[in-house]
Amino acid sequence: MRTPILTTLLLAAALGGCAGAPAPDPGPLTVQVVGTLPHDSAAFTEGLEFSGDTLYESTGLAGRSTLTAGPAGGPPHTKATLPSPLFGEGVTVLGPTLWQLTWQDGVAIERDSQTLAELRRVPFQGEGWGLCHQADGRLVMSDGSSRLTFRDPKTFAVTGSVDVGYDQLNELECVGGDVYANVWHTDTILRIDAASGHVTATIDAGQLRAQVNTTDPEAVLNGIAAVPGTDEFLLTGKEWPVTFRVRFVPKT
């Protein structure tokens, strides 16, 4: 006679083999800290991304928004300031040029990646939160809703969107077909399959905030940058004095 457990296992195996079935949930993940780096505690981090070994960081707040480029953990070698009241948001680097979002100002700023000089501004509808791009250049953007919007990297025009089922998706990081997203005001990072919008893992980064020891309700986790050539990520937060180098591992 078949036990209920065996039946469940057989059913799971059968479903797992179905074409188009969502990838099996690996269970909750957490962060394993492999190192720490200094972070500018005045930086209200809204975007974080490597291009080669240069770390780009976009920061927010009207009158204080910047874009910096330089070695991770070191002082930046290049810096641009946004004229008030522009509020900087997500950033993604496409070789010689980059896109920097603004929050509620309705413009995306295209810049030279080397000098950070502004090249043009493109208007868009709604809010700007997180930004990253996939291997083919396609931009992925969050706007505070539960949708990820795809955009053309040359024109910034919308080319599609997926619903993720979780609201308040903030800073993003594209890795292959996955998009990692901070959920605003939480210690949760979601791993999302960009093609379907399915959440394939939930990562609890709560142990980092505990080490940062801030009481400011806006000093939240926000900043995910995949470290090129590794399975590691830099994670930081708004006005955090530290950036963590982590690996995502199963929660035990």
Footprint of Ca ion (CB under 5 A)? 48-49, 173, 224
Q: What minimum distance in Å lies between the beta carbon of 238 and Ca ion?
A: 14
Q: Spell 181-206 as b/e; 16+ CB within 10 A means b.
A: bbbbebbbbbbbbbeebebbbbbbbe
Selected from 50, 56, 124, 129, the binder of ligand DDQ by CB under 6 A is 129
Nearest to 183 by CA among 212, 156, 205: 205
- What lies within 8 Å, CB to CB, of 243 at 6+ separation is 36, 37, 38, 39, 72, 73, 223, 234, 235, 236
Torsion of CA 178, 121, 44, 92, to 10 degrees: 30
DSSP state of 13: H
Nearest to 129 by CA among 152, 146, 117, 111: 146
Site string for ligand DDQ, 36-55 (x = CB under 6 A): ----------x---------
Residue 124 binding ligand DDQ, by CB under 6 A: no
Q: What minimum distance in Å lies between the beta carbon of 234 and ligand DDQ?
A: 18
Q: Which of Ca ion, ligand DDQ, none lies near 49, with the C-beta cut-off 5 to 8 A by kind?
A: Ca ion
148, 161 Cβ separation under 8 angstroms: yes
Residue 118 binding ligand DDQ, by CB under 6 A: no
Q: Residue 173 or 178: which CB sits closer to Ca ion?
A: 173
Q: Which of Ca ion, ligand DDQ, none lies near 105, with the C-beta cut-off 5 to 8 A by kind?
A: none
Q: What minimum distance in Å lies between the beta carbon of 20 and Ca ion?
A: 29
Q: Which of Ca ion, ligand DDQ, none lies near 48, with the C-beta cut-off 5 to 8 A by kind?
A: Ca ion
- Judged by the rule CB under 6 A, the positions of this chain that interact with ligand DDQ are 46, 89, 103, 129, 170, 184, 218
